[in-house]
Structure 1
Amino acid sequence: MAAPMVGIVLVSHSAPVATAVAQLAVGLTGGGPEVAVAPAGGSPDGGLGTSSDLITAAARSVDRGAGVAVLADLGSAVLTVKALLADDELPPGTRLLDAPFLEGAVAAVVTASAGADLDAVEAAAAEAYDYRKV
């Protein structure tokens, strides 16, 4: 049986954005062990917004026993995740990461694919704030 691995949830106001970021991050793992990554974007009717039900389902789907890292794109997505955490509606060991959405997602997924624990995944995602482009 494979060792427990950190799961990743990407919460965006847009389902296509969450899905695209998930695909990009997974594609950059270099073919390592497959990380459980779930997009949770948009509202249940397919519009823009956030959905506590979609976020909860995504977190449960990626829980592999080593914690769940959640990255969110904008304010109300962050607030929704915080409310779910406060109400204990997400799997034990779920953590909202303070990281940029795209760069943080890539760092988190790549780090998780190397078998890192939740603390290391969080640190890698947070380091993405320091990525310089010039």
Structure 2
Amino acid sequence: MVGIVLISHSPALAEGAAELARAMGVGKAVVEPAGGDVDGGLGTSIELVEHAVARADAGDGVLLLADLGSSVLTARTFIEDAEDAGDVAVLLADAPLVEGAVAAASMAATGAGLAAVRDAAEAARDHRKLR
């Protein structure tokens, strides 16, 4: 199953969004938070992302979702390092954090592949538009 990691500047936001996504993923999806800095404050941490990816990886890849600018940079840096090491297939979704996480978890719970889980997360952006 594809794992999901939520990268946020806030530990509470990452944990809350992960809790919601897991519930909406019928408890099957593996959704791990990577929020805040290593001291538990606001910020981002590549170390926390590494640990969350290790927990989320079941062999089918891991999708990253990030909340703001430097968390996106942290995700991209992690992906570059992972590609160089050849350890795990990792993609970053261009998606809203909460809606994307819920959509990704729902898709991952079906056993879909990494690209389909990313596509589901990114499609969540369109469902949010007010017309």
Which one has a larger percent helix, Structure 1 or Structure 2?
2
Identity %: 48
Q: Which residue does the alignment assign to 1:76?
A: 70
Q: Residue 90 of structure 1: CA displacement?
A: 8.2
Q: Which residue does the alignment assign to 1:103?
A: 99
TM-score normalised by L of structure 1: 0.89
SS at 1:98's partner residue?
Answer: coil
Contact 2:3 2:62 in 1 (8 A): yes
**Matched AA of 1:82:** R
Q: Which residue does the alignment assign to 1:14?
A: 10
Q: Which residue does the alignment assign to 2:31?
A: 37
Q: Which residue does the alignment assign to 1:85?
A: 79
Unaligned runs of 5+ in 1: none
Q: Alpha-carbon deviations, 1:80-115, whole Å to 9, x = none? A: 111121122684211111111111000001100111
Whole-angstrom distance in 2 between the partners of 1:15 and 1:50: 9
Unaligned runs of 5+ in 2: none
Contact 1:84 1:90 in 2 (8 A): no
Count of residues paired in the alignment: 128
TM-score normalised by L of structure 2: 0.91
Decide whether aligned partners of structure 1 residues 104 and 114 sit closer, same or farther in structure 2, where only a CA change above 3 A counts. Answer: same
Q: Residue 133 of structure 1: CA displacement?
A: 4.7
Moved over 4 A (4+): none
RMSD: 1.5
Decide whether aligned partners of structure 1 residues 21 and 85 sit closer, same or farther in structure 2, where only a CA change above 3 A counts. Answer: same
**Matched AA of 1:62:** A
